[in-house]
Every structure is written in structure tokens, then in C-alpha cells.
Amino acid sequence: MSAGRTIFETEHDDFRALVREFIAREVAPHAEEWNDAGMVDKQVYKAAAAAGVMGFNVPEAYGGLGIDDFRYNAIVAEEMNIAGSGANGLALTLINDILAPYLLRLTTEEQRERWLGPMASGSLLFSIAMSEPGAGSDLAGARTSAVRDGEHWVLNGQKTFISGGLLCDAVVVFCRTDPDAGHKGFSLIVVEDGTLGFEKGRKLDKIGLKSQDTAELFFADCRVPVTNLLGTEGMGFRHLMENLPAERLSIGVGAVAGARRTFDDTVKYAHDRQAFGQSIGSFQANRFMLAEMATELDIAQTYIDDCIRRVLTDDLSAVDAAKAKWWCTELHKKVVDQCLQLHGGWGYMLEYPVARDYQDVRISTILGGTTEIMKEIIGRDLGF
């Protein structure tokens, strides 16, 4: 993925080789097992940490590598998507791109000592709980509440669609702490596994991303120490918004890489597969379809790389990230659909990677903010 691109340097190419080796050694051999089980082996996170592909952005003082360079995050996102279905359950981007920045930016020194080291070693897995049965895109509609009672917060409510919800050792919960304060009435509170009143529900049965456990979480008079407040009380909504550009860019990065892999596989198939005495790619309709996808992927990669540059200079706006997220995930969906069509009947068979790609890609235009929400962000920036 680095060939012909100008944003990476030698150390990034070395890191990419390391990530590929880790996936080949620790992930690929277990792909089918994890897919059937509906979750990955939790021990693989310790292996990821030991290899330096998870928690690398945690400071050395807390057990990480102290690498604050989004290009490393991008490489992990790309290589996980290039690896395909076998890697989709391993939530490295969730940890590196979403949770680590929250914990690095919002924690007190006591919280850093308690959480960052174990997270960097892979022994303490975090998840984040935002969506609810009645509040997905509209986070302001979240009803999970936390009421202060002395030295504790008392949480009540339900969360759903939580990635890593069953494997997590702790979860960052977006909850309402002031019912009368509107957007300023939300906070982030860390609830650790085993806390009385915190229960993990069923593993949700999804169309795709089979090896990623996705769960419901329940809180019933769940008492959490006030020291588990993450960031500032009442600033939970703003805290989420501060990290959303990088989160959404990460999704776009992975989408382009995943689309490129499916496309490359299909180009090879279109050369090898014969029909009516010639390769299927040589028919004009198919050749034009492949030409269009090749062009759109190059354009998408150029925009993604420009966004990565802007992350490095702290110049990536929420609007830029929204454009990257919706365009690249919609392109990913389109590319996979067209590539499946080019495979014909074989594309519908799960023995071909394109079939699983088709299952997995559908969530990409929904998670992290739907395409419609991304367009709403962009439209408002235009003054409408």
C-alpha cells in the first residue's frame, strides 16, 4: 500500500512489514475458528501489544512506545482491511484510534497509572458504549443516566451494538448526568467488568463481521466510583466530538484499503476466468467497469492521503473527515458489489473472499456516523 504514495517514510514501511507479519502469524491461522465462534481469542491482544501493533501511541512511561503519528494508525487500519475477513474481529483500530486518544487526553494521573499500562500490554481491554436501542445517530437522545450519590455514580440504562462488548474488561459509557442541560448534560464514565449492576447481554447475530463480538450492555443501579469519571462532567458530548474526525478518517482509510484488495483480487479473477473463449475482463462492459473502479480508487486514495497529512499538522476538520468517511465507505460498498457481479455465481459462494467482503462491507456506511449524517455535517458547513 505504500508504493507510489508520498506520505510514508522508511520507518513506516518497516512498521507495515511488522504488521503484516503479525497478521500472518497471529490472525490468519485462526480466521475460520474465530468466525465460527463469533469472537476472537482474547489472548491475541497481548500478542498485538507485544508486537507493537496495539497501544503504540501510549507514552513509554506507561508501557507503550510513545509514537504519536497517525500514519502508524493508518497502516494498521489498512493492513487489517487488506487481510480481509480473517482480521475483521480484531478491534485494533477501536483501541488505537478511538479509545487510546480518549484515555490519553482525558485521564487524570491516577487514571493513567490504573488504565494505560494494562491497556498498552493488552491485559485490559476497553470498549466504548454510545448507541442505545432508541439512540444511534442521534446521540443526544441517549437515555442511560448516571446520578451522583456521595462518592459514586449510579448508572441505569441499556447500550447496544457495542463492538467488543463481551470481551471488554472496561467500557467507557456515554451517559446523561444532568437531564436539564441539553448537550451539556452528558458525561463519560468508565465502568469496569465485574461491577455490581453491570451485565453483558447476548452476542448479537450480525450479517457480517462475524468474528467481532457485538453485544448489548445493561446497567441497573450500577455503582461506580466518582474517580471513574473520564474528562469533565457535562462535557461528554464535546469530548466525543473532539476525536470524531480522526475516528472517521480511520474508517475511510480502512475502506479504501479493503476496496483495493477486493478490486485487485477481482482483476486477477477477470484475467483468469474464461467465457465465450476469452477472459471476462476483455469484454467491453466489464473492462469499462474495472477502469472506472481503478480510477475512483486512485482518487479516493489521494484524498485519504491528504487527510492523513492534515492529521499530522492538526488541520483535519470534522467536515473533511465526514467527506472522507461517507465517500470512501460508499465507494467500498460499490466496489465490492461490482466485483461480486464480475465473479458471477462464484461470487455468491463463501469460499470466495468477495462473498465475505460483501457481507462485511454493509456496516461501513452506518457505523461511525451514517452516510446521511456525514452529508448533514457537510451541508450545514455550506450554510444550509
**Are 188 and 174 within 8 A, CB to CB?**
yes
194: helix, coil or strand? Answer: coil
Helices (H) and strands (E) in the chain, counts: 12, 10
Please give the grid coordinates belonging to residue 43.
489472548
- Non-local CB neighbours of 29 within 8 Å, separated by 6+ positions: none
Could you identify the residue written with the cell 479493503? 258
d(CA 191, CA 201): 15
CA neighbor of 138 nearest in space, from 295, 352, 373: 373
Helix (H), strand (E) at residue 133: none
- Non-local CB neighbours of 222 within 8 Å, separated by 6+ positions: 154, 155, 156, 191, 195, 196, 197, 198
**Are 184 and 235 within 8 A, CB to CB?**
yes
Helix (H), strand (E) at residue 242: helix 236-272
Amino acid at 90: L
d(CA 245, CA 112): 24
**Are 116 and 64 within 8 A, CB to CB?**
yes
Handedness of CA 295, 296, 299, 302 (dihedral sign): negative
d(CA 80, CA 82): 5
Residue 247 annotated in active site: yes
The DSSP bridge partners found for residue 222 are: 155
Please give the grid coordinates belonging to residue 184.
451539556
Catalytic entry in 109, 247, 296, 351: 247
Active site amino acids: 247
